[in-house]
Amino acid sequence: MLKSTRTTRGRRIRTAAGVAAAVVLLGACATTPPAPPTASLNAARQAITSAEQLDARRYASAELDEANRKLATANRAVTTENMIEADRFAQESRVVAELASARTEFAKAMEINDEMGRGADALNEELQRQGDQQ
């Protein structure tokens, strides 16, 4: 009987020690802030830089401004250690910057299309005049 009491007591001590170790480890994890969303922040910065190089300030300034505001919000969230919010705003910033790039490319394509149309119209008028002269 004495041996079974020691065995039971030993199991209880080991169980209590295991639970205490788990609590300490979980507490340590809870106090360590998550890492900043570096990849999302870098992707947003790169998308904004690309949009600016395409001249989005001229063609899609509202979208470019919004992308910059969202990136600033993401950076503020990093300083307050709200990494989930920081990641969300960084991703939104990247998407809006990509939208600015797409709208810029579309606007430039439309300008070229309009110019080509005017050139074709001028050529048709010239051909019409030459046909009338003959």
pLDDT digit string (tens) for 41-73?
Answer: 999 999 999 999 999 999 999 999 999 999 999
Dump pLDDT digits (tens) for 88-129: 999 999 999 999 999 999 999 999 998 899 888 888 888 888
Taking the model in full, what pTM does it have?
A: 0.68
Pairwise CA distance, residues 41 & 47, whole Å: 10
Alpha helix (H) residue ranges in the chain: 2-31, 38-53, 56-59, 61-79, 83-133
Pairwise CA distance, residues 105 & 61, whole Å: 13
Pairwise CA distance, residues 45 & 89, whole Å: 12
